[in-house]
């Protein structure tokens, strides 16, 4: 990105993956960036993410198209000498199905991905187990989404922040915003450590953005996740596996008891993700309006039972960690990204829910382009926070 924001002072509120990416891309334009966070880098959702850089489960339309573009940006950033070299690696994502309604959902998503130009490979019947022997025989459908990737959240944050040269202030809560005025004075941020003045302020604080901009009306969505011990196995998954119940859960489809909506075991949408060093990340739940990071035995038990049902070799491994991540969701499923109308110098980049890792390069690049008055990628305009078309969730 080549716009010029030389000597422009920008405060970014939030040191997660979105805030860090914005700091990086703004610094490339010459801006002087300060990042503040009430705890520190990756202390929120970015530090409890699965690291998936994937378009496989994205809703068709704006979000899928932007994810495709951001995925391509990661590849460029990971080139030799790039900021993500050694932190991002390519792999496939596999959509899997074990019953008729999952097969239907899997094929419907595959059709949307194909129309968007994503490379796919469909495998069915006995050919599934021939290609990946560790899968149980009850898996009846498999779609390999090619050209995907993985990047650990805290590593992405660290790389972006270090490369940006931004001043990072930890344990500084943003308490109040004062927008700028059209005559030229920029906005100010009242923090627990004092007042900071800047030409521009970007609110990228996840759920914490609500305290500064209540009209965003973000709400929490929690997911409980499991990490296995490190153990070498004769089996090696070629990528992360997402079962089609995940797609249905995202769409709020009515599938009866199959997703256990409202049960004590929580809604389970199975994802099995091979990690470096022979570990697996297994998830997870999708729980509305719960910002508590505790975990529940019944939910963990259900997740593990499903994982072992479809990949029996996992039953030989021990669990070493169970945790929950809480993400900021928006009413229409699209993040907020853009300038706040009638508030000079005030910008917002929040509500990315589970898409923050994937969309981070796109979001940072687009924000820097907007501030520099440059063209933005097609579709970004749909994320404008004040668009009258955006849905507002009833309180």
Contact indicator for 16, 36 with CB cutoff of 8 Å: no
Q: Are 334 and 382 in contact (CB under 8 A)?
A: yes
The predicted model gives 52-73 an average pLDDT of 96
318 and 337 share one domain: no
Mean pLDDT, the chain, as a whole number?
A: 89
208 and 104 in a common domain: no
Please state, in angstroms and rounded to a whole number, the distance separating the CA atoms of residues 327 and 310: 27
154-202 pLDDT, tens digit per residue, is 999 999 999 999 999 999 999 999 887 766 678 999 999 999 999 999 9
Nearest partner of 67 among 142, 143, 147, 3, judged by Cα = 147
Give dist(CA 48, CA 29) in Å, integer: 30
| Banded model confidence at residue 42, pLDDT cuts 50, 70, 90 | very high
Q: Tokens 């589970």 identify what position?
A: 354
Tell me phi and psi for residue 250, to 5 degrees.
-65, -35
In a domain, 314, yes or no: yes
Co-location of 269 and 133 in the same domain: yes
Domain of 289, CATH number, reads 3.30.9.10
Q: Is the peptide bond before 284 cis (omega within 30 degrees of 0)?
A: yes
Q: Given the DSSP bridges, would you call strands 287-288 and 219-228 parallel, antiparallel or unpaired? A: antiparallel
Is the pLDDT reported for residue 263 higher than 70?
no
The answer to whether 324 and 294 have CB atoms below 8 angstroms apart is yes
Residue 196: closest CA among 67, 34, 349: 34
E strands along the chain, which residues? 9-13, 32-36, 52-53, 88-97, 120-124, 141-151, 167-169, 174-178, 188-191, 194-197, 200-203, 219-228, 239-243, 268-275, 279-285, 287-288, 319-329, 336-339, 346-350
Segment 81-96 shows an average pLDDT of 96
Order of strands across the sheet with 336-339? 167-169, 32-36, 9-13, 200-203, 346-350, 336-339
CA angle centred on 177, ends 174 and 179, rounded to 5°: 150
In this structure, the answer to whether residues 237 and 304 fall within a common structural domain is: yes
Question: How confident is the model over 240-248, as a mean pLDDT?
Answer: 90
3-class DSSP state for residue 28? helix
Judge whether 78 lies within some domain: no
Assess contact for 180 and 202: CB atoms under 8 A. no
Eight-state DSSP code of residue 48: G
4 in any annotated domain = no
Looking at the domain assignment, is residue 59 inside a domain? no
Q: Which residue do the tokens 């993700």 mark? A: 273
The pLDDT value recorded for residue 260 is 40
Of 309, 329, 349, the position where a domain reaches its end is 329
Q: For residues 237 and 273, state if they share a domain.
A: yes
At 267 the pLDDT is 65
Report how many domains make up the chain: 2
Q: Where are the alpha helices (DSSP H) in 83-188?
A: 100-115, 127-131, 153-164
pLDDT of residue 266: 52
Distances from the Cα of 68 to the Cαs of 79, 244, 337, 362, in angstroms? 18, 20, 17, 10
Q: In this structure, is residue 72 part of a structural domain? A: no
**Does 213 share its domain with 223?**
no
pLDDT at 382: 93
Which is higher by pLDDT, 62 or 290?
62
Q: Structural domain of residue 355, as residue ranges?
A: 9-47+154-217+332-383
Instruction: Give the CATH number of the domain where residue 352 resides.
Output: 3.50.50.60
**From 64-68, 205-209, 277-281, 357-361, the region with the lowest mean pLDDT:** 277-281
Residue 73 banded pLDDT, cuts 50, 70, 90? very high
Task: Please indicate, yes or no, whether residues 223 and 281 belong to a single structural domain of this protein.
Answer: yes
Report the 10 Å Cβ neighbour count for 183: 6
- Tens of pLDDT, residue by residue over 311-324, are 999 999 999 999 98
163 and 280 in a single domain? The answer is no
Q: Residue 183 has what pLDDT?
A: 60
Looking at the fold, whether 182 and 248 belong to one and the same domain comes out as no
Percent of the chain clearing pLDDT 90 (strictly above): 74
Report the distance separating Cα 272 and Cα 213, nearest Å: 36
Does residue 228 share a domain with residue 306?
yes
Backbone phi, psi, residue 114, to 5°? -65, -40
pLDDT tens profile 118-159: 999 999 999 999 999 999 999 999 999 999 999 999 999 999
The pLDDT, as a whole number, for residue 182 is 63
Residues 132 and 256 occupy one common structural domain: yes
Q: CA-to-CA distance for 255 and 258, rounded, in angstroms?
A: 6
189-218 in b/e burial notation, b at 16+ Cβ within 10 A? bebeeeebebbbbbbbbbbbbbbbbeebeb
Q: Report the pLDDT value the prediction gives residue 112, as an integer from 0 to 100.
A: 97
If you average pLDDT over residues 315-335, what whole number do you get? 92
Task: Answer yes or no: is 395 within a domain.
Answer: no
Among residues 306, 329, 352, the one where a domain terminates is 329
Same domain for 311 and 354, yes or no, is no
> pTM (2 decimals)?
0.92
Q: Note the pLDDT of residue 385.
A: 87
């Amino acid at each position: 990105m080549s716009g010029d924001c030389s000597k422009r002072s920008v405060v970014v509120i939030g040191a997660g993956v979105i805030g860090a990416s914005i700091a990086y891309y703004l610094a490339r334009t010459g801006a002087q960036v300060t990042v503040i966070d009430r705890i520190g880098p990756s202390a929120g959702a970015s530090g409890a993410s699965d690291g998936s850089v994937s378009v496989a489960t994205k809703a068709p339309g704006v979000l899928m198209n932007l994810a495709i573009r951001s995925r391509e940006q990661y590849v460029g950033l990971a080139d030799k000498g790039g900021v993500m070299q050694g932190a991002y690696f390519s792999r496939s994502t596999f959509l899997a199905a074990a019953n008729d309604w999952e097969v239907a959902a899997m094929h419907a998503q595959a059709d949307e991905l194909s129309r968007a130009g994503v490379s796919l490979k469909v495998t069915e019947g006995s050919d599934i187990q021939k290609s990946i022997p560790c899968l149980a025989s009850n898996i009846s459908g498999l779609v390999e989404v090619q050209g995907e990737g993985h990047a650990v959240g805290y590593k992405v944050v660290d790389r972006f922040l270090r490369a940006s040269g931004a001043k990072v202030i930890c344990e500084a809560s943003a308490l109040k915003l004062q927008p700028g005025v059209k005559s030229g004075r920029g906005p100010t941020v009242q923090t627990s450590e004092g007042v900071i003045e800047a030409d521009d302020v970007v609110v990228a604080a996840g759920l914490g953005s609500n305290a500064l901009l209540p009209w965003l009306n973000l709400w929490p969505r929690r997911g409980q996740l499991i990490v296995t011990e490190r153990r070498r196995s004769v089996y090696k998954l070629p990528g992360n596996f997402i079962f089609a119940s995940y797609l249905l859960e995202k769409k709020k489809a009515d599938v009866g008891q199959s997703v256990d909506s409202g049960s004590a075991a929580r809604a389970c949408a199975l994802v099995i993700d091979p990690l470096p060093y022979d570990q697996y990340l297994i998830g997870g739940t999708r729980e509305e309006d719960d910002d508590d990071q505790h975990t529940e035995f019944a939910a963990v038990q259900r997740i593990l039972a499903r994982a072992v049902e479809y990949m029996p070799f996992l039953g030989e491994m021990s669990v070493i960690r169970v945790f929950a991540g809480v993400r900021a969701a928006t009413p229409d499923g699209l993040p907020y990204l853009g300038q706040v109308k009638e508030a000079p110098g005030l910008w917002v980049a929040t509500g990315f829910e589970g898409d923050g890792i994937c969309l981070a390069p796109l979001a940072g690049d687009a924000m820097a382009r907007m501030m520099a008055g440059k063209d933005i990628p097609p579709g970004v305009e749909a994320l404008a926070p004040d668009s009258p078309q955006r849905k507002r969730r009833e309180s």
